[in-house]
Amino acid sequence: MTTPAKFWRQVREAKPELPEAVPEAWAFGATAEHADELLALVLVGTKTATASSLWDFEATGEAVPREGEHSILLDGAGEPRAVIETTRVRICPFAEVDAHHAHAEGEGDRTLAYWREAHERFWREYSENPRGFAPDMPVVCEAFVLVYP
C-alpha cells in the first residue's frame, strides 16, 4: 500500500510547483463503494464539486476546506489515487444548494432533485453528528479541479 506521503513525493516529481507539505488524504462517501464510484467521476472529469455537512466538520473537529488547498483522494481501499485543489467554498442551508452545484457534483442524473434526495438519504444514514439531517442544515459546497493525474 502506498502511503499518502510517498504518493505526494511521486506527485511532486511530476509537479514540483506543488507545496512540500503533504496535504490531507481522504475518500468520498461513507463506504468503499461510494469512494470508488465518486473517485471514478472525478478521474473522468464529471465530478468537480462535493458537499459536506458543516455539522459533521464540527462533530469530528476536522477543518472546513479552504480555497487553494490541496487534498489527496483515496479509493475505497485507502490507496492514494488523485490530487485535487479546492477552488471555491460556500456554506449555505441545504435548501439553498443550487442546481449548478448539484450538476457539478456529477452524480445520478445531475439534477437538483436527485442531489437533494441522495444527500438527504446520505446524511440521515451516515452523518457523523447527532443532528443528522435537517432542511436548514449548513452545507459546505466545495468546488475543485483535478490536479493529478
Q: What pLDDT sits at residue 116?
A: 98
CB 110 within 8 A of CB 102: yes
Task: Assign 1 a pLDDT band (cuts: 50, 70, 90).
Answer: confident
Q: How far is CA 90 from the centre of its chain?
A: 13
Q: What pLDDT sits at residue 109?
A: 97
Closest CA to 83 of 5, 141, 11: 11
CATH 3.40.50.1950 fits domain 4-9+23-148: no
Average pLDDT over residues 104-110: 97
Residue 27 clears pLDDT 90, i.e. is over it? yes
Q: What pLDDT sits at residue 115?
A: 98
Residue 111 clears pLDDT 90, i.e. is over it? yes
Q: What pLDDT sits at residue 33?
A: 97
CB 108 within 8 A of CB 115: yes
Quote the percentage of the chain above a pLDDT of 70. 100
Cα–Cα distance, 42 to 48 (Å, whole number): 7
